[in-house]
């Protein structure tokens, strides 16, 4: 379990299977809904159906190798923020929902079952695409083509006409900061945020949002709903960026902007998109690090060259010495990131986990199954839960979760096959 990382699609595409081994070994990838949409868009990207599906399956395979489940849609986190249910712990994936239970021993926990999106990724990874997938892909690609940001740009001319001239990203950020901190328009900004999610909520929830704001005596949005405030800034950076010409009207720019909504749920963001690189300094603070995708790939490529030079005994000795932590190399990007987020190298290196006997393995499975047995209770926060169970699947050809470098079916899953 390393620092939480989010990759954009272009970085993910460049990584080989061997390089993803080191991604999973030293990081905890958080894959986000916009990645699913981008995989879906590849299903009908080219006239040649087989070529399109091959590209989509390749991307799905890489995502399936990730060890984290999919992050909740940012709009749903935004809604909860406006309702007062703020995410308590940033820097890790936001997973909303799950089934809260209390088992016979009195323990309270949450069970997260696989989502429909995760089931889809499992199917796509083995080349299983159905007609509904194709329809969704066509609708999604058509909806992107229909977006005319020149119209939005012209509409915004009237709305923001009183702002100082924006001629750089620095002045763009300054104007956005001026707007979001203006005490005279906080209710207008609140309604603007609610309008952004109105299609996802019932009228009664909108009433609750407004009632809560009034009960708290019309506070600034920054204090009222911190994550919603963060989303507000992303929205305005994009819209004022369009108005001023600092962001181009290319339809894919809106998709690229969507990655920013998920940055509070990671420690590291590694894209290969120039828009991400330009805007990142104005979006995040020091709690999230930007690593250019090519630099990350080069690091993993060097790690792989070092790894493949070992024989089997050398690989075992390396794993026994370092376990899941990277070697302490001051020139390494990964070492610097671990030093910031993982109490490194003070925690170097955890003791090896003893191999479970068949008897103890059965006891562990029985214990997990007993925890699953219980009655449904009102929703509890994950920070208050005694246990969390997150369902996922692993197949014969997936990389083994012990990071030995072997596939699961020939390593820890040998008993199952």
Q: Is residue 363 part of a domain?
A: yes
Domain that holds residue 322: 4-70+89-141+293-392
- Convert 357-417 into a string of H (helix), E (strand) and C (coil): CHHHHHHHHHHHHHHHCCEECCCCCHHHCCEEEECCCCCCCCECCCCCCCEHHHCCCHHHC
pLDDT tens figures, 342-400: 877 665 555 656 667 778 778 877 787 777 787 888 878 777 888 888 777 777 777 77
Give the closest residue to 111 by CA, choosing from 90, 95, 133, 93. 95
Q: Are 394 and 114 in contact (CB under 8 A)?
A: no
Least confident of 39-43, 90-94, 367-371: 39-43
**Which comes out higher in pLDDT, residue 216 or 378?**
216
Residues 129 and 155 in one domain: no
Give the C-alpha separation, 83 to 207, whole Å.
10
Residues 96 and 209 in one domain: no
Residues 127 and 176 in one domain: no
Residues 135 and 33 in one domain: yes
Residues 31 and 10 in one domain: yes
pLDDT tens figures, 116-142: 777 888 888 888 887 777 766 666 555
pTM of the model: 0.85
Residues 9 and 134 in one domain: yes
DSSP letter at 300? Answer: H
Q: Is residue 272 part of a domain?
A: no
Q: Is residue 400 part of a domain?
A: no
Q: Is residue 164 part of a domain?
A: yes
Q: What is the mean pLDDT of residues 311-332?
A: 86
Residues 221 and 300 in one domain: no
State the DSSP string of 66-128. Answer: -SSPPPPPHHHHHHHHHTT---S--SS------EEEE-TTS-EEEEEPPPHHHHHHHHHHTT-
Q: Is residue 374 part of a domain?
A: yes
Residues 344 and 232 in one domain: no
Last residue of a domain, one of 250, 283, 303: 250
Residues 27 and 112 in one domain: yes
Give the C-alpha separation, 85 to 88, whole Å.
9
Q: Is residue 267 part of a domain?
A: no
How many structural domains comprise the chain? 2
Q: What is the mean pLDDT of residues 261-269?
A: 95
Residues 240 and 334 in one domain: no
When mean pLDDT is compared over 25-34, 39-48, 152-161, 168-177, the highest value belongs to: 168-177
Last residue of a domain, one of 250, 271, 304: 250
Q: Is residue 287 part of a domain?
A: no
Q: Is residue 407 part of a domain?
A: no
Residues 108 and 18 in one domain: yes
pLDDT at 248: 87
Residues 10 and 114 in one domain: yes
Task: Using alpha carbons only, give the angle 177, 206, 159 rounded to the nearest 5 degrees.
Answer: 40
């Amino acid at each position: 379990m390393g620092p939480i990382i989010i990759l954009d699609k272009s970085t993910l595409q460049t990584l080989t299977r061997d390089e993803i081994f080191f991604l999973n070994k030293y990081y905890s990838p958080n894959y986000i809904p916009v990645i699913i949409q981008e995989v879906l868009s590849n299903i009908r990207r080219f006239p040649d159906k087989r070529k399109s599906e091959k590209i989509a399956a390749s991307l799905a395979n890489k995502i399936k190798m990730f060890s984290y489940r999919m992050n909740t849609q940012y709009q749903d986190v935004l809604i909860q923020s406006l309702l007062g249910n703020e995410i308590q712990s940033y820097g890790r994936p936001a997973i909303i929902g799950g089934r809260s239970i209390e088992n016979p021993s009195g323990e309270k926990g949450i069970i997260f079952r696989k989502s429909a999106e995760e089931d889809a990724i499992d199917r796509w990874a083995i080349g299983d695409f159905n007609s509904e997938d194709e329809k969704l892909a066509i609708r999604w690609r058509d909806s992107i083509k229909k977006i005319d940001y020149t119209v939005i740009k012209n509409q915004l001319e009237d709305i923001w006409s009183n702002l100082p001239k924006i001629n750089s990203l620095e002045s763009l950020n300054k104007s956005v900061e001026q707007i979001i901190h203006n005490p005279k328009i906080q209710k207008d900004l609140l309604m603007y945020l609610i309008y952004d999610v109105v299609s996802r909520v019932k009228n009664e929830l909108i009433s609750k949002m407004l009632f809560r704001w009034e009960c708290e005596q019309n506070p600034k949005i920054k204090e009222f709903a911190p994550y919603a405030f963060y989303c507000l800034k992303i929205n305005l950076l994009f819209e004022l960026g369009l108005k001023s010409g600092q962001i181009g009207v290319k339809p894919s720019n809106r998709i690229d902007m969507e990655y920013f909504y998920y940055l509070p749920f990671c420690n590291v963001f590694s894209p290969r998109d120039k828009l991400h690189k330009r805007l990142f300094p104005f979006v995040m603070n020091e709690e999230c690090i930007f690593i250019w995708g090519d630099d990350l790939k080069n690091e993993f490529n060097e790690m792989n060259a070092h790894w493949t030079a070992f024989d089997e005994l050398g690989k075992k000795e390396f794993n026994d010495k370092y376990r899941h932590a990277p070697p302490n190399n001051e020139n390494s990007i990964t070492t610097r990131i671990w030093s910031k987020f993982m109490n490194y190298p003070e925690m170097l290196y955890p003791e090896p986990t003893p191999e479970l006997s068949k008897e103890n393995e059965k006891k562990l499975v029985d214990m997990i199954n007993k925890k699953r047995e219980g009655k449904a209770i009102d929703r509890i926060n994950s920070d208050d839960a005694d246990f969390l169970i997150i369902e996922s699947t692993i197949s014969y050809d997936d990389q083994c979760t012990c990071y030995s470098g072997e596939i699961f079916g020939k390593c820890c899953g040998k008993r199952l096959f």
